[in-house]
Amino acid sequence: MKLYFYNSLTRKKEKFNSIKPGEAGLYTCGPTVYNYAHIGNLRTYIFEDVLKRVLIYNGYRVKHVMNITDVGHLSGDRDMGEDKMEKGARREGRTAWEIAEFYTRAFKSDIARLNIIEPDIWVKATDTIDDQIALIKTLEEKGYSYRTGDGIYFDTSKFKDYTRLSHQNIESLWEGARVEKNPEKRNSTDFALWKFSPEGVRRQMEWNSPWGTGFPGWHIECSAMSMKYLGEQLDIHCGGSDHIDVHHTNEIAQSEAATGKNFFNFWMHGAFLIIAGGKKMAKSEDNFLTLHNAFVKKGINPLVYRFAAFQTHYRKPMEYSEESIQASRNGLQHLQNQVRQAAQNSAGQKGAVIDEYKTKFLEAINDDLNMPRAMAVVQEMLKSRIGDADKHATIIDYDRVLGLSLDTVDQAEELPEKIKILVAERQAARNAKDWAASDRLRDTIQDLGYQVQDTKEGMQVIKT
Ligand code: AMP
Ligand code: ZN
């Protein structure tokens, strides 16, 4: 079946064709590892995971590359401000390298909890400095770069069609930036390829280069890494919608200027997670919620967040609220019960994936990843008159895209001994009406990754 994606380049839904038949190259901009990812960031990674799973479901072999930004992402706009890594290091009294390692591990743990399939290749910006320097050299040879007091810059006026992705008007962009913080820049849209370490300051992360000691600009890493691992012409590049105007626009300019070839064919962007009142969740806003704080700590299975993300199309803003999460919590539990019921009713009998419903599901997901519609198909299929064994086989097939671990819901999980003891102690506390002890024990159990629920049938314990 044909596959359509909305391409930010053309602002249209287009039929997806990969450059190499049967193979799709996917590059997703990864985290800047100076802090935990917030659940807004994670919404973008869930969208990208659905995209990847849909490609696989359609029979593509996917080669997925994700970078880890561990240097060069500055806190201010347009190459001003402090390196976020050095800022994080100061905040925590650790080295930038330690910070990078710690938050990379935290990020990998978050995506694992959300059943996000790991990329085939992870690349750290600091592991590809030579490739980035080589790319900057090519740009220099071709006359696209110039030197200022604080670094080597890309001259955006030399690249025709600089705003092809952002669809902005370049003249009004230039006029709009009247207060230029760096007067040596030729155009306000020019961006750093290489920045020099400040005079007399020894940065924690710095390298020698043909232009002087310093560090690469943020955008160059994604161009260097994507071309290194996927080739000069690539299939799909994704990120959050905030990357359209600057980061991805600059990636296109420097990559195409260097190779003379079209860079990526498809650019796909996920809309923001917002909080009540419409404000974007952002690390810099201090309004951010981590997966741990919003879910794990409260004993809510992180897959509830994955399920919640399916309720809004990836190109529409998604509003986070405790109520919407509660609704998704109920929704996921209901789905798990339906799957469990279908499994029990089919009593070991092996069913078949029903074509009619597979087609309906494909029609939804292949129409620019329409997950709200796909979730309606899930319910339609589960409520239909097809046999339970077939229902079970069909939902397990859908789960290749949903990634909700629906194949394990019917396996009553054996609890670890430690949890069993704590649960028994809590039961004893409840019997003795010692509510304070009971609450304390519930929190301890939650911290160990299990959630207790008091139902009419007694206490239930679920792994979160
Ligand atoms: P960062 O770690 O800041 O480089 O961001 C990682 C990814 O999250 C990027 O693709 C961003 O575009 C995306 N992102 C940032 N804020 C949000 C948000 N509030 N909602 C969804 N995605 C976001
Ligand atoms: Zn990037």
Residues 314-342 have pLDDT tens digits of: 999 999 999 999 999 999 999 999 999 99
Instruction: Please report the pLDDT score of residue 11 as a whole number.
Output: 97
Q: How far is the CA of 353 from the centre of ligand 1 (A)?
A: 37
Q: Considering every ligand atom shown, identify the ligand nearest to the alpha carbon of residue 220 and give its number.
A: 2
Name the residue of 218, 242, 316 to mutate for ligand 1: max ligand atoms within 8 A of Cβ: 242
Instruction: Please report the pLDDT score of residue 432 as a whole number.
Output: 80
Tell me if 273 CB under 6 Å of ligand 1. Answer: yes
Q: How far is the CA of 301 from the centre of ligand 2 (A)?
A: 30
Of the two residues 447 and 4, the one the predictor is more confident about is 4
**Which atom of ligand 1 lies at the shortest distance from residue 272's CA?**
20
Residue nearest to atom 23 of ligand 1 (CA): 41
What's the pTM value of the predicted model, to 2 decimals? Answer: 0.89
Query: What would the two tokens of residue 210 be?
Result: 């043909």
Q: Considering every ligand atom shown, identify the ligand nearest to the alpha carbon of residue 244 and give its number.
A: 1
Instruction: Please report the pLDDT score of residue 455 as a whole number.
Output: 67
β-pairing verdict for 264-270 and 121-124: unpaired
Q: How far is the CA of 61 from the centre of ligand 2 (A)?
A: 22
**Which atom of ligand 1 lies at the shortest distance from residue 31's CA?**
2
Q: Is 258 helix (H, G, I), strand (E, B) or coil?
A: helix
Which residue type sits at 144?
Y
Is the pLDDT confidence value at 370 over 70? yes
Instruction: Please report the pLDDT score of residue 77 as a whole number.
Output: 62
Q: How far is the CA of 111 from the centre of ligand 1 (A)?
A: 14
Is the pLDDT confidence value at 61 over 70? yes
Q: How far is the CA of 279 from the centre of ligand 1 (A)?
A: 14
β-pairing verdict for 273-275 and 318-320: parallel
Within 13 A of 187's CA, how many CA atoms are on the CB side?
Answer: 18
Query: What would the two tokens of residue 265 be?
Result: 């064919």
Q: How far is the CA of 239 from the centre of ligand 2 (A)?
A: 7
Query: What would the two tokens of residue 56 be?
Result: 């696989």
Q: Is 388 helix (H, G, I), strand (E, B) or coil?
A: helix
Instruction: Please report the pLDDT score of residue 203 as a whole number.
Output: 83
Q: Which of 69, 39, 98 is nearest to 221 (CA)?
A: 69
Query: What would the two tokens of residue 212 be?
Result: 């002087």
Q: Considering every ligand atom shown, identify the ligand nearest to the alpha carbon of residue 38 and give its number.
A: 1
Instruction: Please report the pLDDT score of residue 72 as a whole number.
Output: 79
Residues 411-443 have pLDDT tens digits of: 655 677 778 778 888 888 888 888 888 888 888
Instruction: Please report the pLDDT score of residue 180 as a whole number.
Output: 59
Assign 173 a pLDDT band (cuts: 50, 70, 90).
confident
Spatial neighbors of 332 by CB under 8 A, at least 6 apart, are 301, 303, 304, 307, 404
**Which atom of ligand 1 lies at the shortest distance from residue 30's CA?**
6
Query: What would the two tokens of residue 77 be?
Result: 């706009």
Burial of 222 by CB count in 10 Å (0-12 exposed, 13-18 middle, 19+ buried)? Answer: buried
**For the CA atoms of the chain, what is the radius of gyration?**
25
Q: Is 273 helix (H, G, I), strand (E, B) or coil?
A: strand
Tell me if 119 CB under 6 Å of ligand 1. Answer: no
Instruction: Please report the pLDDT score of residue 379 as a whole number.
Output: 98
Residue nearest to atom 15 of ligand 1 (CA): 41
Is the pLDDT confidence value at 257 over 60? yes
Tell me if 242 CB under 6 Å of ligand 1. Answer: yes
Q: Which of 26, 48, 18 is nearest to 117 (CA)?
A: 48
Tell me if 40 CB under 6 Å of ligand 1. Answer: yes
| Number of Cβ within a 10 Å radius of residue 364 | 20
Tell me if 239 CB under 6 Å of ligand 1. Answer: yes
Mean pLDDT of 270-277: 91
Three-class SS string for 325-348?
HHHHHHHHHHHHHHHHHHHHHHCC
Instruction: Please report the pLDDT score of residue 247 as a whole number.
Output: 95
User: What is the per-residue burial (b if ≥16 Cβ within 10 Å, else e) of 374-413?
Assistant: bbebbeebbeeebbbbbbbbbbbbbbebbbbebeebeeee
Q: How far apart are CA 258 and CA 140, in angstroms?
A: 9
Assign 456 a pLDDT band (cuts: 50, 70, 90).
low
